[in-house]
Homo-oligomer: A and B are copies of this chain.
Amino acid sequence: MKTLSIKDIAVQANVSITTVSFIINGKAKEKSISEAVIEKVEKIIEESGYKPNQIARSLRTGNSNIIGLIIEDISNSFFSRIARLIEDKAYKRGYKIIYSSTENSVDKAKELINMFKSRKVDAYIISPIKGIEEDINMLLTDNKPVILFDRNLPNVDTNYVGADHFNASYQSIESFIKQGKKNIALVTTDIDVQQITERYDGYKKALEDNGITYSDDLVVKIHFNQEEAETISQIKTLLESKKIDAVLFATNYLAISGLKVLKQINKKIGDEFAVIAYDDHEAFELHTPSISTVQQPLEEIAETVIKLILSQLSSKTKLENQQVIIPAKLIIRD
């Protein structure tokens, strides 16, 4: 069964292809097609179930109604929740999402950008990594809307939406200090992206401002792509050997590993020892005791990203770039 084309409809309705095209695209009035013809054609389209070939459309118009979403890892709940929200909102406005995970590999990220480019996606939503600045700049010279989120790139001049990582981290540490904690550790990753370094900077600054000397011994940087067993053993070393009385985990998956360690070594969270995790996770609320977390405003981030994209897509002229920083919320539990 050959699939129908606009030509088949035209033949059946005994009008030209052009006329059908105008009707499909809602330009019938403007192009002064008579009511009678419009109805006839629409009826045929309806009955035959004809659907325009989007590929041909894209080839001709140069756009696709598709937005490309590039994230670190769709199986991380932070990203999958954001993806769902973005998908949802985009869908309501007639846009589809293609997504892919970079797994923090520069090569894969570059490849993804290329693939999206050759598929003519209309806009890009990227949670970027260092090393792809040039590729992004090429998109920008192509006049494609690009929104970075979660992490910013210093050398790229475009839109950015993200949480205020520095202050969230700062406040977390301050809350530890107010509880009288003195030996506050930080478990973070070694990937060199802005939102991670901000969390680190917030940690450091909060200590300084409160007269606590920063010590490298209390910070462990976990290698991104390693096995969880390795991560667990590194965190275990930290938590066992030191007289640490509080820990901030810089990502939710590090916190998960950390909680596993605490269970293994039977170290209890309570008055003697406090924990805060960055990025909420269902496990944290359920944990006994509940784990305090820094909640990113997912809904707001997604909404802002989509709003920026759409306003750019609908505007003829290049809009002013925007940097939207949304406060994160420290949720103290138990």
A225 contact set on B, CB distance < 8 A: none
A3 contact set on B, CB distance < 8 A: 142
Question: Could you tell me if A74 and B64 are in contact, using CB atoms closer than 8 angstroms?
Answer: no
Question: Could you tell me if B256 and A119 are in contact, using CB atoms closer than 8 angstroms?
Answer: no
Question: Could you tell me if B58 and A55 are in contact, using CB atoms closer than 8 angstroms?
Answer: yes
The dominant DSSP class at the A interface is helix
Bound together, the chains give a CA A51 to CA B117 distance in angstroms of 9
Most chain B beta carbons < 10 A, residue from A52, A53, A55: A55
The verdict on A320 contacting chain B, using a C-beta distance below 8 Å, is: no
Question: Could you tell me if B118 and A52 are in contact, using CB atoms closer than 8 angstroms?
Answer: yes
Bound together, the chains give a CA A100 to CA B59 distance in angstroms of 23
Closest to A252 in B: B282
The verdict on A99 contacting chain B, using a C-beta distance below 8 Å, is: yes
Stretch at the interface among A83-91, A149-157, A186-194, A232-240: A83-91
Question: Could you tell me if B285 and A288 are in contact, using CB atoms closer than 8 angstroms?
Answer: no
A307 contact set on B, CB distance < 8 A: none
A97 contact set on B, CB distance < 8 A: 98-100
A-B contact pairs, 29 of them (CB 8 A): A1-B141, A1-B142, A51-B114, A51-B117, A52-B118, A53-B59, A53-B118, A53-B120, A55-B59, A55-B118, A55-B119, A74-B80, A74-B84, A74-B87, A75-B83, A87-B100, A87-B101, A88-B101, A97-B98, A97-B99, A256-B282, A256-B286, A259-B286, A260-B286, A281-B282, A282-B282, A283-B286, A286-B286, A287-B287
